[in-house]
Amino acid sequence: MKYNIHMNSSGKWEKVIRPHGRLLQVDLKGLWAYRDLVLMLIKRDFVTQYKQTILGPAWAVIKPLLTTLVFTVFFGGLAKLTTADAASAADLVLPGFLFYMLGTVVWDYFAAVVSETSTLFIDNQQIMGKVYFPRLVMPVTIALSKLISFVIQFALFIAIYVVCAFAGLAEVHLSWTVILFPVLMLELMLLAASFGMLISALTVKYRDMQMMLGFFMQLWRYGSPLAYGLLLIPETWRTVYLLNPFAPVVTAMRCVMFGEGFFDWRFYALSWVTVCALALIGLAAFNKTERTFIDTV
């Protein structure tokens, strides 16, 4: 059983007692009722992230720039790995810096949501043990708050892309795939939040998961086409490689932004199937854990 204390339409406080919902239940009504809490937590997360730092929000720009520079020098300059996802993109005039920066921006958002969501029960045990609110508020807040840094970084990427285009260093090819950008962002958010919720449920009982997550995310990063183009993967292994749900997302994102690249409806649809299955598993694990986690943490 759980209860919720709120103000009704007549302006009076009332207590509503109700049984636990199903494992796959999404309390959309509760999330909407607590939208003010979501906004407050988003503001808190963004402020505390850069509080007591000298450069403040500038770190949202500095980190991807430095990472992109390292990738450009070592993977593009020294290792000379291909940045083409398809044969049609092999002759595309595009600085490697733009290729690596887009991948870095997308991955940084994904990794940040996974990392923070994976410990939400542990990090918020005091407030979640004393005050009732729909627990899904927390992963929703994290996914939305990290969008602020993503927007800043993506705006910087667009600015550099435009400068390179005017300088003749990059070609701009607009294609119909640009309409997929919101869908790709939705899939990215769902993948990150779902995987994070699954890990958060496991971390409550098994703290080893928290230790293993950083190592696993590093393997996942280099097992995705971020430091190299998809053409580097032998065609015989490409089908297995694209079972990684993140790979079709980032390659489709590059196809959208650069107008050339790899986009296959079969692998993209399969990535959605994988993400939806992971979302159901993550939601079930999250809902089950939030009922009793306060006795375990």
Residue range 129-136: mean pLDDT, rounded: 78
Q: How far apart are CA 66 and CA 169, in angstroms?
A: 21
Angle (CA) 252-193-175 rounded to 5° is 15
Q: Are 227 and 100 in contact (CB under 8 A)?
A: yes
Domain that holds residue 159: 2-283
- Please state which of the ranges 38-47, 120-129, 257-266 shows the lowest mean pLDDT: 120-129
CA distance 290 to 71: 40
Tell me what the pLDDT averaged over the chain comes to. 84
Which run of H or of E encompasses 17?
Answer: strand 13-18
Higher pLDDT, 97 or 211: 97
- State the DSSP code for 272: H
Residue 231 covered by a domain: yes
Mean pLDDT of 139-155: 92
Of residues 221, 241, 262, 237, the one with CA closest to residue 84: 262
* pLDDT for the residue 208: 75
How far apart (Å, rounded) are the C-alpha atoms in residues 257 and 85?
A: 13
- Taking the C-alpha atoms of residue 205 and residue 102, their distance in angstroms, rounded to an integer, is 36
Nearest to 251, CA basis, from 69, 103, 31: 103
Least confident segment among 22-36, 38-52, 196-210: 22-36
With respect to residue 219, please indicate whether it lies within any of the assigned structural domains: yes
**What confidence tier does 22 reach under pLDDT thresholds 50, 70, 90?**
low
What's the token pair of residue 177?
A: 């795939």
> Is it the case that residue 101 has pLDDT exceeding 80?
yes
pLDDT of residue 296: 59
- Does some domain include residue 292? no
Instruction: Record the pTM.
Output: 0.88
* Structural domain includes residue 113: yes
At 141, list the tokens: 């807040």
Whole-Å CA distances, 170 to 59, 229, 248: 27, 17, 23
Higher pLDDT, 248 or 168: 248
Helices 137-166 and 96-117 pack at an angle, to 10 degrees, of 170
In a domain, 140, yes or no: yes
Residue 16 has phi, psi (to 5 degrees) of: -110, 115
85/49: higher pLDDT:
85
pLDDT > 90 fraction of the chain, expressed in percent and rounded: 42
pLDDT single digits (tens) 172-190: 777 777 888 999 999 999 9
Question: Mind listing the pLDDT tens digit for each residue in 245-283?
Answer: 999 999 999 989 988 888 888 999 999 999 999 999 999
Average pLDDT over residues 163-171: 86
CA distance 20 to 3: 9
Q: Where is pLDDT greater, at 69 or 128?
A: 69
Give me the mean pLDDT over the 189-210 stretch.
88
Q: State residue 262's pLDDT score.
A: 86
In a domain, 247, yes or no: yes
More confident residue, 60 or 193: 193
CB 107 within 8 A of CB 226: yes
* SS3 of 107-175: HHHHHHHHHHHCCHHHHCHHHHHHCCCCCCHHHHHHHHHHHHHHHHHHHHHHHHHHHHHHCCCCCCCCC
pLDDT at 19 over 70: no
In a domain, 293, yes or no: no
- Does residue 294 form part of some domain? no
Tokens representing 157 are: 């990427």
Angle subtended by helix axes 181-205 and 208-222, to nearest 10: 150
- Give buried/exposed letters for 93-105 (b at 16+ CB in 10 A, else e): ebbbbbbbbbbbb
Domain count, the chain: 1
Q: What is the pLDDT of residue 1?
A: 47
Q: How confident is the model at residue 111 (pLDDT cuts 50, 70, 90)?
A: very high
Query: Of the given ranges (78-87, 108-117, 126-135, 250-259), which has the lowest mean pLDDT?
Result: 126-135
